[in-house]
A and B are shown apart, each in its own frame.
Chain A
Amino acid sequence: EAGVVQSPRYKIIEKKQPVAFWCNPISGHNTLYWYLQNLGQGPELLIRYENEEAVDDSQLPKDRFSAERLKGVDSTLKIQPAELGDSAVYLCASSLGTGQAFFGQGTRLTVV
């Protein structure tokens, strides 16, 4: 069975440019998470979806970040415009309710 798939794996952009990340969760998993992880630190939750509904987005910087999960399956996370401080790894995870969360390999974003 395929795991959580994220793309791209790496992205380098100039500051003020837009960027988007894509996540395909494990089939059947209704809960989807987006996390931000700085080097050597623990992941920090940005947004959590239950099916297509964003049920926890309190940590999402809404002035520049947006996310969507149309049809309750795939999800995209967008940053516009990107800032230097947004450089990090963006992790997507999925689970069946409060069951085990499975993580993708992440997208490493570098803003120059």
Chain B
Amino acid sequence: TQLLEQSPQFLSIQEGENLTVYCNSSSVFSSLQWYRQEPGEGPVLLVTVVTGGEVKKLKRLTFQFGDARKDSSLHITAAQPGDTGLYLCAGRISSGSARQLTFGSGTQLTVLP
């Protein structure tokens, strides 16, 4: 059973369109991170959110942490071909093995020119 469920699993859109990727769990996270991974490379951190309801913006990317710290979303405005990649959410749970970083199932985004 995946601790973090991402949706959609695959997303193919045209350049200029907007999109939202979701990351959901039944567990409460002390922090949640979003990564982007390109083929042949390791995941690269985009953002970390730690406070329920927190919203962070990184150029055309907007990240939101749910009020209950169980879910998060990534919204991309006016997507560009350079945004193509595998987007991963990862969280550290609030109890137990807090140092463990658990990844979601990933969303493969393709932005067509």
Decide if A42 touches B99 in the complex (CB within 8 Å): no
Stretch at the interface among B14-22, B37-45, B52-60, B73-81: B37-45
Chain B interface residue count, Cβ-Cβ cutoff 8 angstroms:
25
Q: Is A91 in the interface zone, CB < 8 Å from B?
A: yes
**Contact residues in A for B86 (Cβ distance below 8 Å):** 40
Q: Is B51 an interface residue (CB 8 A)?
A: no
Q: Does the CB pair B41–A43 fall under 8 Å?
A: no
Shortest Cβ distance from residue B66 to the other chain A in the assembled complex, whole angstroms: 19
Q: Within residues 1 to 38 of chain B, which ones have a CB less than 8 A from any CB in chain A?
A: 4, 6, 31
- B84 interface residue (CB < 8 Å to A): no
Q: Is the CB of A105 within 8 A of B42?
A: yes
Q: Show 30 residue pairs from A and B whose CB-CB distance is below 8 angstroms, ordered by the A residue.
A: A31-B99, A33-B101, A35-B103, A40-B106, A40-B108, A41-B105, A42-B88, A42-B90, A42-B103, A43-B88, A43-B103, A45-B101, A45-B103, A48-B99, A48-B100, A56-B97, A56-B99, A56-B100, A91-B42, A93-B101, A97-B99, A98-B31, A98-B98, A100-B48, A101-B45, A102-B45, A103-B43, A105-B41, A105-B42, A106-B42
